[in-house]
Amino acid sequence: MKYQPIEKELFCHNRRNFARQLKPCSLAIFHSNDVMPTSADGTMAFRQNSDLFYLSGIDQEESILLLFPDARDERMKEVLFVRESNEHILVWEGYKLTKEQARDVSGIQTVYWAHEFKQVLNTLMAEAEHVYLNTNEHLRAVVEVETRDARFIKWCQETYPLHRYERSAPIMHHLRAIKSDIEIELIKKACHITELGFRRLLQFIKPGVMEYEVEAEICHEFIRNRSRGPAYDSIIASGANACILHYTDNSRKCKDGDLLLMDFGAEYANYAADMTRTLPVNGKFTKRQREVYESVLRVMKAATQMLVPGNSLDQYHAFVGTVMENELIGLGLLNEGDVRNQDPAKPLYKKYFMHGTSHFLGLDVHDVGNKYRPFEAGMVFTCEPGIYIREEGIGVRLENDILVTRSGPVDLMKDIPLEADDIERLMQQK
């Protein structure tokens, strides 16, 4: 892995917290993600299952974790299975974790080879009453392929039909929403790498540059700083492309007078950063561009102050909607009387600001968490308002990553230039 070793106490701590949530005499099983095929004999780059990584730190395919806090045999309370290597794998794929290395990474002392899993599982299932299985229960998940988790669920329930089956996802959503100090440092590292990429762009962007050239500069800076690369597909949207929320073609030439909306973030040790900045391609905002930019920035600053313990996403988004309405009226995009008489279920601001303002951030860019849970210290959210005026070809979005603390919101991207004057000044320092 490109990233530096992570303290194994993080994963030991996470397993202890998870074990406390289980019913008596419960066995929990977590699988790594599949290596996904492309076509012919091609495969995509491997990305570990976030829950398995959270509980073990193991970043390798064909890995399995068993947690059985009430096991009679002390050695069977935590069991890890990793892929056994051989000469062929060493030549064609490189080194895999040894058992000792797996112990060092995870803090789990009982380690078997993956091919021994079913034999060990059969022994433990004789003791277990409840079996916790893992699924992707993110509210926005669209899963059209059969995952390793899904295949195992079918096999396990067919093989052991009389056990009581439970869901791990609600527990994982609850635990992963609160970041530990080590996790916060990893997210800060991802944010710092993102900053390095952004500062590189301030000296690169100019009329005539292609969107994909901007994307290439980002990837270069990320990888040279121990990131695997972007945490998600980078959005590099110039001109009217900025009004397409998930534009990823990145194929247009950036023209003089355009705004360039860039939504990107580095991954570090599987943790994500998520940042958006909007720049004038020629280094100078027009009057109208600056008006829209300043409106978005005011909404962002007001929204950030609402990311405090006790608030909820519904309350938060209602407040942001009100602030946005006032800004859109000031920009001449909405009429105050129309807003006063609008259908509350169909707020008029949605024409120009059609997405949410914040989402959980962590091991996944759109991290897991309960949307109805009040904000708590240790949660990390994005804050990303935007205004998109298609008829003017103007799209502005600004986004930072915010840590909720008892003493107020902490901006993890506070060192990344944001004010319009700073953006112009830095872009003109060629």
Q: Which positions are annotated as active-site residues?
A: 41, 246, 263, 274, 355, 359, 366, 384, 388, 397, 399
Q: Which helix (H) or strand (E) holds 389?
A: strand 386-389
Q: Which helix (H) or strand (E) holds 405?
A: none
Distance CA 68, CA 204 (A): 54
Token couple for 204: 């690169």
Listed in sequence order, the residues at least 6 apart from 318 whose beta carbon sits closer than 8 Å to its beta carbon are none
Token couple for 129: 């009453």
Distance CA 361, CA 367 (A): 5
Distance CA 131, CA 78 (A): 14
- Residue where the block lists tokens 């022994």: 123
Q: How many CB atoms lie within 10 A of CB 246?
A: 10
Distance CA 2, CA 263 (A): 23
Token couple for 266: 């580095």
| Per-residue three-class SS string for 8-59 | CHHHHHHHHHHHHCCCCCEEEEEECCCCCECCCCCECCCCCCHHHHHHHCCC
Listed in sequence order, the residues at least 6 apart from 404 whose beta carbon sits closer than 8 Å to its beta carbon are 307, 308, 309, 375, 376, 377, 378, 379, 380, 381, 410
Q: Which residue type does 183 have? A: E
